[in-house]
Amino acid sequence: MQQLSGMDASFLYFETPNAPGHIYMCSIYDPSTAPGGAVTFKGILDFYRSRLHVTPTFRQKLVTVPLGLDHPYWIQDADFDLEFHVRHIALPKPGDWRQLMIQVARLHSRALDHNRALWEATVIEGLDNVEGVPPGSFAVVQKTHHAAIDGVSMLEIISAVHDHEPDAEPPVPDTDWKPDREPTPWELLSRAAVNSALRPMRMARLMSRGVPGAGRLEEQRMRQRLDVPRTTPAPRTRFSGTVSGHRVVEARRWSLDEVRRMKTAVAGATVNDVVIAIVGGGLRMYLVEKGELPKDSLRVMAPISTRTAEQAGSGGNQVSAMIATLGTDIEDPLERLRAVQASTHESKLAAEAVDAQALAGLSEFLPGGLAAIGARLASQFEMATRTTPLVNCVVSNVPGPKNSLYFAGARLVTFWGGAAVADGMGLLHGVGSYCGELMLSVVSDRNMMPDPGHYAECLDKAYQAMGKATT
């Protein structure tokens, strides 16, 4: 039995009926590489079954503390049923990209069952008319709750359930799997009482780590080495309101080498800077067409992994974040990239000056029951429409594998993923890479973005414009 950290538990507390808190990953496979040239649903079930031991996430479920007096616990579920978690559907003909996007959006809109292990995988057959994908391919959409993983640990799980050869043998478990006994309410309350007694000492340790960081930040600011990013409100957009229970998704595939070439046009720029600048260009085009572009630049939140080498494979969330400009007030792509690079550079310096893990540790003291009630009340009373946003969207970049992977013998053609949107921030971009390609995905609310395909076209145009501007 393992207790969730405060940060992990926060993804449960702030989940609402209209804003489920899971991450999704959509992977497309070519079955022609599998033994016999085909993959059956039974074969996929067997493939998952042979790898359940790779990560405890697959068979762990939540146990909540009565009255929300402490963070929940993970236990290994004695009643785990693989066939509940792995489902099977097919697209009707012609099986094209738009149909796939609609189906992925529907799956992403549905919350996970908190009485079961917090993940699901849906096999989607019938991808016969998708550009750049061999006919007869299938997709797997895997949803895992953000309380269990972050973007980096999601990729670790994805890597664990793939092979480097189509006919590889499954990994052998080190020990036999044993389920946990479910604790009684009294046992959970006893643990909560002990944790409450120790909380002041934990707070003191965290403050001793966090205060010096704040001092370093002020010292750098006073020496004019650091222009601390603005904490003033961001402009309001159509993505700043209350989200519904319906999602839209889109994705685009670009050359990773081309994006790397683009970044050389600005000293110190990174691949992530280029992507943020492209998103800024696409969002600028989209809002100009709607007649809704704010005068001031929109701002983006970009998660930063704080996972150390010792924490690799540990699951959960080890993240901080930086806030930077999107440069939506700048029409010229190259000038926009310069503005983004300068902004992310200052934000990274600020993050390095402060102990990010110490700040994240403050989430341990979040009152779970009250936080959950507060999140639901804020959603019910549409508080996002009455408050000013700090950021306008998210761009989350997690580099992926460089070599081909195989799932039940089928070659992974491409993949992309996304996370939750929420009240006040209804637009998210996921960035990944695989075998020389960069994948940019979009998640938004259906009411906020009724035309996701058109927004994806704007992103394509911004990518092409950046390419020309940096040549």
* Catalytic sites, residue numbers: 146
Cα 299 from Cα 286, distance rounded (Å) = 16
φ, ψ of residue 395 in degrees (nearest 5): -125, 110
Which amino acid does the sequence have at 415? F
User: Which conformational region is residue 334 in: left (phi greater than 0), alpha (psi within -120 to 50 degrees), or beta?
Assistant: alpha
Closest by Cα among 414, 416, 462 to 435: 414
Query: Do residues 65 and 82 touch, judged by C-beta distance below 8 A?
Result: no
What is the β-pairing status of strands 137-145 and 119-127? antiparallel
> In a 10 Å sphere around its CB, with 0-12 CB exposed, 13-18 middle and 19+ buried, how is residue 414 labelled?
buried
Cα 32 from Cα 30, distance rounded (Å) = 6
